[in-house]
Structure 1
């Protein structure tokens, strides 16, 4: 017996412990994109791993208890298998367009199931008209109606064209918590976010998009008629789904207007046209009610306010934190993130994109200054990584790299308590890059067309004066030389002085280390030169274990500016300008190695230059000797011509 579900939900709804969300993914209705949206709102371990009906049918009810989300190509009758109350959602598409898309997809997709391979052979050999009329082809005759009615076509004793299925499907659909329409995708996702209090849609890249070699407008009328003839129930079911969606959308608009009408009126009277593309339908008009038309920007603004209210309700009993660790296998409280990856190597991550901004909304305690660290595993280009910047509630943060390789990095920034204190129920961290790049362009051979920026795996927040829960980079933080250098600087630094030091010193001394335009990720000679020329530093800290070229160039700049060593240990040398502190000798135990390494490096360079010069002279001699006769002959010929 199929469970009958009723729903009367008008926003601000959270799944209860006794409920499970079930997304009936009707093929070729933008369901892959919708699945990615849904998965981002659940912890990974609360999502049923299989989307396949044949695998779901053999799973025990006990094993399904742990999951909050089930999604896949299964019919409504999945409710007979799951142990909790199902909360159903689905997407409908114009039946003619859906069949055309399914036919194109079947021609080229990779098929594993033997029965499906036979259908693929027919798609590759038959015309579309003959394909839809072939009795052995599944998935083209009233498929949407059958899935919502709760039946698989191959198991039917009653034909899929019998109107009885339409009545059953309509009755079932009335109990769905959400019904989306592919042709109104953005509005549909807006209603979904409204219903469940999720972040409103920003920009989502459509996944598994077909090639569209066949277009409806280019097909002969008899082909369209053949598809319609086989899908009379689906055509009527599609109209019914559209009417349900229209009711849901208008109910949403009415509720948002009632709750946030004054703010809506202010924004509707004049918003920045530069943000037109941020709306639900990318600048197109969205009809709310007969008396009021709202464009996408205004609707999204209303949904944002609704989301803030839902966030506050959902986290009402959650204490604001000064310490948290966020990994990307968790539900995403924000926007601008692609699907979860990296589980196979136990380091889950998500790419930012498709837009240039990605956000995380975190409930932080604003009583103390906080440090934020995050890990970037990869980036599309080094330029994209170089352009990365971070904001807290719209205010730029000073970004200090802890580590950098070719395409990845670890960063740290400080969130002043004044920024964490906000009227909103969360602190919004925004990660910005100058551009996103398609993976198939940045990685030749990769067929992934998603527009991405950087791949992030970890974000952690903790009080400035404490240690993080996850040590992303240990040196020099956990060393006696580090603590000695920090204590010395804290004792002697004056409020109006400037400090040049490795990036790890930015956290304890954020007010003493100015930032040069460009957020230096690579500690290059050009950066050192540019920094020291622009700022009259009073103190310079050198890490002796860094690259000899960098250390040597920095030592040269220190000497030219007449800074003297005042502290040296096994790791650091600290130089000061015009300081009353006693100066250390350049030959002292811990100062000399800094210069010795550079001198050794320069001697090697000189020796290499001498060898290279000798080699060039030898080669030049060989060419000169072999060319003497030609040169003499040429000179004689030239003289004769002149004579």
Structure 2
């Protein structure tokens, strides 16, 4: 780090390489670094054998390599690219103990059979890395500068490792993990990263007091190179961290800021200002529309790791572990008309209903009213109107904030799901576009590729008169020029000549049917998804016992009767006991 710029912006010819040394918080750090890259820019391989199977022509397309790749010569595979090295180091004795415990609790680990019956003292002297023995941090850092180390003595390897550290863009410390994330954010101009994840972490860590003194001495004796390298890394870290704090105070601070006792909260505030300046320096041209899918690099906070469905894109993220999540998206060229913010919530069947109901959104810190466009099969499409003045911001980006009242684990919602992360809702895309271009950009248009949806809209276009009001899923708005109201407006008493009943709105359907009857609307069209009602006398009605209307009434009555009979039986049976 001594020989790397204090601030640096990655360019297209740079490849970031995170050398993941075992038990140095690498799994957590890996997901954090992955956030900063598009999914397509990340090499999918994290092990030596996996990289070896990827054609060289494909490897050159990736801008992030991460994992246990110490036996692959990354620079040699990427001619013409600059490899920018980052890593995390850990106090060596604690790292050896953690690695030993990890292997013994993981039967799937390749070293499990060899280690399961070892004592800690034995482990400290075995599974070594060539001439440097148990000093694998020294080994991996040295290899970043010179791939072949066989002809070097242990002392020469240590010297090389120190030189290598000096050329690294970033070296963090497990013992200063949050400060390390702050320093990484500063160097590369990223949004201040907060440590909210714990991937692959032990539930309970041993303290040195639990380990015999003679065992600790054996570990120390076999980790002398790593101990010296770690102390060297500490010196570099302290130097670069202090320089960062002083520079931030000088550029963005005030007279009350003192470098020697600055709090993490204040440091985050200064880093946020620094990030805004670095973002502004990118000079991104405002666009009349924007589309963000979660396969893209994340500029924001309060999100869980990116997930990609087995069936392929689109990628998605859960909000969490807190209740606030933000996205910093490129600025919008402020239009003369309202824009629409549109996003899709997925996995609603795995989301606690009250959490989904509590979702609120703001644009540049201004709350916006949400309108559900359509909800079906675990997916909910939502829009909000955004006035032009809300898109104006002194900051160099458009901030969209999502907030829920609480978070919970997927396991709490479904005990069969082992996922214990705290989450709110899951999203897979967000976009903003002018309201006049809704038909061109809205994902709601995709719904009408389905035959049943297309049949319903064709019927309406044939029969609905100009200015007549239609009650329907708001997605119909993108295909009709008429006023379209949602079911809530209809239930609140708003008049309408047409009602398009989606059979999937189970929570409201009984109440809607009663309102239809009271207002004299009769079925005039039906298919497997919709029943269309109208009060027009010139249109022939559809029988209530026809194939597609009957289930809405007869079958629903039948289910209600069955439910009531079962309730009465339980009450009666309970009294008999």
TM-score higher than 0.5: yes
364-373 vs 244-253, which deviates more? 364-373
1:352 pairs with one of 307, 319, 328 = 319
Distance of 1:6 and 1:611 partners within structure 2:
76
Distance of 2:557 and 2:126 partners within structure 1:
81
Corresponding residue for residue 137 of structure 2: 144
2:259 pairs with one of 280, 285, 289 = 289
1:50 pairs with one of 45, 70, 79 = 45
Distance of 1:37 and 1:611 partners within structure 2:
52
Corresponding residue for residue 394 of structure 2: 423
Aligned alpha-carbon RMSD (Å): 4.2
Give the alignment of 1:400-549 within 5 angstroms. 400-405=371-376, 407-466=378-437, 467-469=439-441, 471-472=443-444, 473-475=446-448, 479-480=457-458, 488-489=466-467, 502-504=473-475, 532=492, 537-539=494-496, 541-546=498-503
CA drift of 1:94 comes to 0.9
Partner SS for 1:424? coil
Provide closer, same or farther for how the CA distance between residues 105 and 158 of structure 1 changes in structure 2, counting only shifts above 3 A: farther
Instruction: Tell me, yes or no, if structure 1 residue 554 matches structure 2 residue 554.
Output: no
Instruction: Tell me, yes or no, if structure 1 residue 322 matches structure 2 residue 288.
Output: yes
Distance of 1:130 and 1:615 partners within structure 2:
66
Corresponding residue for residue 229 of structure 1: 221
Partner SS for 1:163? helix
8 A Cα contact 1:122 1:131, kept in partner: no
Partner SS for 1:249? helix
8 A Cα contact 1:132 1:140, kept in partner: no
Deviation readout 1:131-190 (Å, 9 max, x if unpaired)? 212366889711111111118999865687x32222111111011111111111111111
Unaligned runs of 5+ in 1: 269-287, 494-498, 515-519, 575-583, 624-643
Provide closer, same or farther for how the CA distance between residues 604 and 405 of structure 1 changes in structure 2, counting only shifts above 3 A: closer
Q: Count how many residue pairs are aligned between Structure 1 and Structure 2.
A: 547
195-204 vs 440-449, which deviates more? 440-449
CA drift of 1:537 comes to 3.4
Provide closer, same or farther for how the CA distance between residues 393 and 481 of structure 1 changes in structure 2, counting only shifts above 3 A: farther
184-193 vs 366-375, which deviates more? 366-375
Deviation readout 1:353-389 (Å, 9 max, x if unpaired)? 2222222112222223211222222144333322222
8 A Cα contact 1:21 1:86, kept in partner: yes
Corresponding residue for residue 304 of structure 1: 272
Provide closer, same or farther for how the CA distance between residues 539 and 419 of structure 1 changes in structure 2, counting only shifts above 3 A: same
CA drift of 1:603 comes to 6.5
Give the alignment of 1:358-373 within 5 angstroms. 358-363=325-330, 364-367=332-335, 368-373=337-342
Distance of 2:463 and 2:62 partners within structure 1:
51
Distance of 1:98 and 1:415 partners within structure 2:
51
8 A Cα contact 1:548 1:601, kept in partner: no
8 A Cα contact 1:32 1:208, kept in partner: yes
8 A Cα contact 1:50 1:56, kept in partner: yes
2:67 pairs with one of 50, 69, 72 = 72
Distance of 1:209 and 1:508 partners within structure 2:
51
Distance of 1:226 and 1:598 partners within structure 2:
79
Partner SS for 1:543? strand
Give the alignment of 1:151-190 within 5 angstroms. 157=150, 162-190=154-182
What TM-score do you get using the length of structure 2 for normalisation? 0.81
Provide closer, same or farther for how the CA distance between residues 204 and 86 of structure 1 changes in structure 2, counting only shifts above 3 A: same
Corresponding residue for residue 34 of structure 2: 39
8 A Cα contact 2:181 2:195, kept in partner: no
8 A Cα contact 2:92 2:223, kept in partner: yes
CA drift of 1:589 comes to 1.8
Look at both structures and tell me which one has the larger radius of gyration over its CA atoms.
1
Unaligned runs of 5+ in 2: none
Distance of 1:202 and 1:311 partners within structure 2:
18
1:95 pairs with one of 56, 78, 92 = 92
Distance of 1:223 and 1:428 partners within structure 2:
53
8 A Cα contact 1:99 1:140, kept in partner: no
Provide closer, same or farther for how the CA distance between residues 147 and 594 of structure 1 changes in structure 2, counting only shifts above 3 A: same
8 A Cα contact 1:360 1:428, kept in partner: yes
